Amino acid sequence: MECRDIINTFAPCLSDTLGVSTDLANFLSITLGVLIVATFPLLVTILLIWVERKFAARVQDRIGPNRVGPFGLFQPFADVIKLLGKEDITPAGADKWIYNASPVVMVMAVLLIWAVIPLTPVHVGVDLEIGALYFVAVASIGTLSVIMAGWASNNKYALLGSFRVVAQLISYEVPLALALLVPVMLAGSMSMVGIVEAQTGMWFVFMVPVSAFLFFISSQAETGRAPFDLLEAESELVAGFNIEYSGMKFAMFFAGEFMHVFTNGVLMAVLFTGGYIGPFVDQIPLLGLVYLLAKASIWYLLSLLMRNALPRVRIDQLMLFNWLFLVPVSIINLILVAFLMFVIRELGLQPDDPRDFVQNIPQTVVLLLGNVALLIGTLTVIRNRFRAERLAEQSTMLPAQAGD
């Protein structure tokens, strides 16, 4: 047996050339694959810390880290060395096991998502048939970590912070999953590779921009960063659920957060902008990784801009925004897309070859028009409601001018 395509035929190669038993070879192959897939996001995170700080600095008219290494690129390493030397304080009365497990669970929750993300056409951790459902299930583990940290810290600020975050995270999971249903419906598959392959002809972001918007906003809220960083709320909660953490455990919470933001970018790329799809990917599969990271970076920079440019919302506004805006819109959006898909099928606008760009245009136009109509409708409802509220407020405040 030839051992050229080493990644996909690692197990047979190993058992053939070294005479290892097949079961052991399979196990080694799986373990190696897991290590590669899990280490990759952690390595990217080291770079992300630098990008994050530099970007925030530029927005705030500063230079940012520029002393350690060229352009301050080695700053993250300096940070890690500093954090390694910090004393690890466990507060008296903390529930030690849960307290120590919490930062590990935080990072783990994000890492597990990467198991199903297709990096290139041939390199994917594992192409589960229920990849989308697996993502929804695994993404909830992060909430657990927050409860663990808040409850085990034996600190009232931490507890209050974690209550709020849990309310926020579980609330925003609803529009997240409802928006995720739409690409699943269009692709007719829950597998991440299936969803990417279905976008060969046309990216889903052009067909269902409203779903992309809903997914992006709610995934941004899931990371708990500005403008949704109620868990930090320095002015009211000191630092939120991670107040009692120091040293490397504190760093792990932030590593998890940075990684989560980038993972959201990657998910946006996979679900809505075609993942690894791009020119010449069929010939050179590794180009797919470049395309995926490029697309993910655009979404990532957009969320950085959102974080740095928008002010924090209040907790009651946050919950109202979710339950009275995002959830109803995502429900209507789901029904609308289902209806339009039915109309497309009845009118025979489906492409004969889904991989062809031109044949995809008719159904894209129908879906896009539906989405634009939904957008205009939603904006009109919001405008009328707030105008009525404003007028009512004016009439109570200025009764003398009512007849003018």
* Residue 378 touching another protein (CB under 8 A): no
Identify the CA nearest to 270 among candidates 173, 365, 191: 191
Q: Closest distance between another protein and the C-beta of residue 297, in Å?
A: 23
Instruction: Specify whether the CB–CB gap between 225 and 307 falls below 8 A.
Output: yes
* Residue 35 touching another protein (CB under 8 A): yes
Query: Segment 282-341, which members bind another protein (CB under 8 A)?
Result: 315-316, 319-320, 323-324, 327-328, 331, 334-335, 338-339, 341
Which pairs with CB-CB distance under 8 Å and at least 24 residues apart come from 238-242? Answer: 238/157, 239/157, 239/161, 240/157, 240/158, 240/161, 240/162, 240/164, 240/165, 241/146, 241/149, 241/150, 241/153, 241/158, 241/161, 241/162, 241/165, 242/149, 242/158
* Residue 10 touching another protein (CB under 8 A): no
Phi, psi values for residue 260, rounded to 5°: -65, -40
* Residue 42 touching another protein (CB under 8 A): yes
* Residue 133 touching another protein (CB under 8 A): yes
What's the Cα-to-Cα distance from 363 to each of 166, 352, 360, rounded to whole Å? 39, 12, 6
* Residue 31 touching another protein (CB under 8 A): yes
Whichever of 11 and 226 has its CB closer to another protein, that residue is: 11
The identity of residue 76, as a single letter, is P
Given 6, 18, 92, 402, the residue binding another protein (CB under 8 A): 92
Given 25, 119, 146, 190, the residue binding another protein (CB under 8 A): 190
Whichever of 126 and 361 has its CB closer to another protein, that residue is: 126
* Residue 366 touching another protein (CB under 8 A): no
Identify the CA nearest to 40 among candidates 139, 145, 120, 100: 120
Q: Closest distance between another protein and the C-beta of residue 92, in Å?
A: 4
DSSP secondary structure string for all residues of 178-195: HHHHHHHHHHT--SHHHH
Instruction: Specify whether the CB–CB gap between 110 and 40 falls below 8 A.
Output: no
Given 65, 125, 275, 351, the residue binding another protein (CB under 8 A): 125
* Residue 89 touching another protein (CB under 8 A): yes
* Residue 178 touching another protein (CB under 8 A): yes
Please tell me the distance from the alpha carbon of residue 274 to that of residue 332, in angstroms, as a whole number: 24
Structure tokens that stand for 368 in this block: 């896009």
Given 98, 136, 302, 366, the residue binding another protein (CB under 8 A): 136
Span near another protein by CB under 8 A; candidates 57-65, 158-166, 295-303, 363-371? 158-166
* Residue 173 touching another protein (CB under 8 A): yes
Q: Closest distance between another protein and the C-beta of residue 279, in Å?
A: 28
* Residue 104 touching another protein (CB under 8 A): yes
Start-to-end CA span in the chain (Å): 91
| Residue 118 DSSP code | B
* Residue 34 touching another protein (CB under 8 A): yes
Q: Closest distance between another protein and the C-beta of residue 347, in Å?
A: 14
Q: Closest distance between another protein and the C-beta of residue 248, in Å?
A: 3
Residue with tokens 């959201």: 264
Number of residues that bind another protein (CB under 8 A): 89
Given 9, 12, 16, 30, the residue binding another protein (CB under 8 A): 30
- C-alpha torsion angle, residues 129, 135, 138, 141 (rounded to 10): -170
Binding string, residues 232-251; x marks residues near another protein by CB under 8 A: ------x----xx--xxx-x
Instruction: Specify whether the CB–CB gap between 252 and 148 falls below 8 A.
Output: no
Whichever of 170 and 305 has its CB closer to another protein, that residue is: 170
* Residue 43 touching another protein (CB under 8 A): no
Give the helix/strand (H/E) hosting 133: helix 131-139
